[in-house]
A and B are shown apart, each in its own frame.
Chain A
Amino acid sequence: MLWLMDTFGRDRVNPESPIDVAPEDNPSNEPQPDLIVLKRASASFQSGAPQPGDLALVVEVADTTLRFDLTMKAGLYARAGIVEYWVVDVTGRRLIVHREPAPGGYRPVAAYGESEKVAPEASPQHELLVGDIFPLGKEIS
């Protein structure tokens, strides 16, 4: 979260915010991603939920919900046209990056390991070392 705040600016990052998705999915869905990054300052969304087109990046942190996040939620976000979707696989210590949404799903889905770096498309100059996301598992857990 802190890394996203530094990269995009605090006023563009929201924790636990409900969002709208594709019009046909909205009646039975109101997902609440762990983190969202908005394309403009969050204070400008005072009443309605952010629309999919307002989002630069959606992040879910998955420990027990990995399969659901990679299937149902990926489909939901792809149909909504959310441009980039990251799943933090806590158990597998990987970051799974979804890009290029289409109605059938995200086409390139890439898993990055702890020693690899990823930059969000919305901020390509900022690289995140995947291993920095996770707790020092060997020592603490």
Chain B
Amino acid sequence: MPVALTIAPDPPAPLIPPRKRWTRAECAVLESSGIWEQQKLELIDGELISKMGKGRPHVVALTRILYWLMDVFGWDRVNPAAPIDVAPEDNPTNEPEPDAIVFKLPGSGLQTVQPQPGELALVLEVADTTLRFDLTVKAGLYARAGIVEYWVVDVNGRRLIVHREPCARRLPLRGRL
């Protein structure tokens, strides 16, 4: 039986002293310069988040759910680790790379243009060390983008946390055990 999660998203941490907020354009320049090669970074709210240090539980959970998603939706609707666009106002300082995305239309998983939020049926993150971040900052980002469904696999809690009905202002959190 699913339980509703009532925890409110954390307000953004105060940035004192103010930090430099990176933009996609700056990141693209740095990326092409080569100094970041293989760093596995994700741009969220102007900050560069390292995607390194995944544990085996993360990898195993992601592998299992990717196979399940491919069985359910067809392999040409599922992409692992694909950068996506979000809301227009968030795009300049955000370029999230969810662990898995599912497209609404067959074949879209093979397109060569950056996926738009409206094309996505489901976005999924596997969280072992990043649970709070995925439930607050990322949930807000995906809700503002109007992504219709967002799943967080809580590896340590052995739960799947399902977000639906995105709205721009505040995210209703619904959980399933």
Task: Give the B-binding residues of A (Cβ under 8 A).
Answer: 1-2, 5, 10, 13-18, 30-32, 34, 42-43, 45-49, 64-65, 67-68, 72-73, 135-137, 140-141
Contact = CB atoms under 8 A, between A and B. Distances in A.
A18 B52 contact: yes
B56 A65 contact: no
Contacts of A46: 56-57, 60
Given A15-B81, A16-B54, A17-B54, A65 B59 contact: no
A105 B146 CA distance: 48
Q: Which 8 A-B pairs have the closest CB atoms?
A: A68-B37, A141-B112, A17-B59, A15-B80, A135-B112, A2-B75, A140-B112, A14-B63
B31 A64 contact: yes
A10 B67 contact: yes
A5 B66 CA distance: 11
B34 interface: yes
B54 to A, nearest CB: 6
A27 to B, nearest CB: 14
Contact of B66 (A15, A48, A68): A15
Chain B, interface size category, equals 20 to 34
Contacts, number: 73
A18 B63 contact: no
Contacts of A30: 52-53
A59 B23 CA distance: 30
A68 B110 CA distance: 25
A57 to B, nearest CB: 16
Contacts of B170: none
B59 A137 contact: no
Contacts of B145: none
Contacts of B51: 32
B13 to A, nearest CB: 27
Given A16-B54, A140-B111, 19 more contacts: A5-B67, A13-B63, A15-B62, A16-B62, A16-B99, A18-B54, A32-B40, A32-B52, A32-B54, A34-B81, A46-B56, A49-B56, A64-B32, A65-B38, A135-B110, A135-B111, A136-B110, A140-B112, A141-B112
